[in-house]
Amino acid sequence: MIDFRLLTLDDQPQVKPLLQAAAERGAEYSFANSLVWGSFYNQQIAFVDGFLVVKAGIDAPHYNFPCGTGDVKAVVQRLADDAAAHGLPFRMRALSEATKLRLEALFPGRFAYAAVRDWADYVYLVGDLTALAGRKYQPKRNLIARFGSEYENEWTYEDVDDRNIDECIAMNEEWCRLNGCLENGSLRTETEAVAAMLAHFRRLDLRGGLLRVAGRVVAYTVGEPLTDDTFIVHIEKAFTEYRGAYQMINRQFLMHHAGGFRYVNREDDSGDEGLRKAKLSYHPAFLHEKYTAWEK
């Protein structure tokens, strides 16, 4: 059996370079994401022959494609042996198109595959979300213009740093109260994950931006570089009473932090229909598909 354990912040120097070297656009390849969501999904890590291997799930665990260099086929077989040692079927999760093809080349005909729509990340052109040009983005431009007009001379943008991170933490707590997080399990889980990301903001080397209106923080967002050409946005929160705040913080943050990137990954919708509609309204360049695989 493989000795899996939960990821900790102290693993960052060893784990993050392996994730980055994979050059994958999926949100699973962010160390920050893996850290703050790991305990909720029982996501555990181990190191096998220099590869990072990940197992997630409780009753029916899945394994991620290994990250590292060397004999990856032998490492995948070690994962299959680990599943067998626990009396469980061997399944892999969150495979990109590229890692799915690699797995099939390593083990021709051994696995069946299925795309999981709820896991697909929404990937946009940074230029599209900063320019917001054309008729399809007219509603977004209207909301930004309304925000700018209604709060003219009152709104400001600033980067998140040690001077204002506590205000983002306080806004997260207030947003949670206003949106009934205590009564909604998924929102409560999300809020706890966001709180953890904000608490470790500096050590995780994250980037953030916020909007103020008359001094009050009314929106904030957090992200980071993911690959050489892709930036990822992890968090975006705004008080809905400030119409256009979501659209404004989205645009301002990318203008300040994603100018050197071609793509921005705004992560998946987890099957939430309202979130799916909102993400589609920004017209993704493509969906980063993710597959599950199981032995036939």
pLDDT in tens, 238-254: 999 999 999 999 999 99
Based on C-alpha coordinates, what's the Rg of the chain? Answer: 20
Instruction: Residue 3: name the closest of 32, 33, 40, 45 by CA.
Output: 45
**What is 5-120's CATH number?**
3.40.630.30
Cβ atoms of residues 91 and 293 within 8 Å: yes
Rounded Cα–Cα distance for residues 296 and 262 (Å): 38
β-bridge partners, 216: 213
Instruction: Give the fold, CATH level 3, of 122-267.
Output: Aminopeptidase (3.40.630)
End-to-end CA distance of the chain: 22
Domain boundaries, the chain: 5-120, 122-267
Rounded Cα–Cα distance for residues 96 and 99 (Å): 5
Structure tokens at 37: 């969501």
Cβ atoms of residues 114 and 261 within 8 Å: no
Angle 23-26-31 from CA coordinates, rounded to 5°: 75
Same fold, 5-120 and 122-267: yes
pLDDT tens for each residue of the chain, 296 residues long: 899 999 999 999 999 999 999 999 999 999 999 999 988 889 999 999 999 999 999 888 999 999 999 999 999 999 999 999 999 999 999 999 999 999 999 999 999 999 999 999 999 999 999 999 999 999 999 999 999 999 999 999 999 999 999 999 999 999 999 988 888 878 888 889 999 999 999 999 999 999 999 999 999 999 999 999 999 999 999 999 999 999 999 999 999 999 999 999 999 999 999 999 999 999 999 999 999 999 99
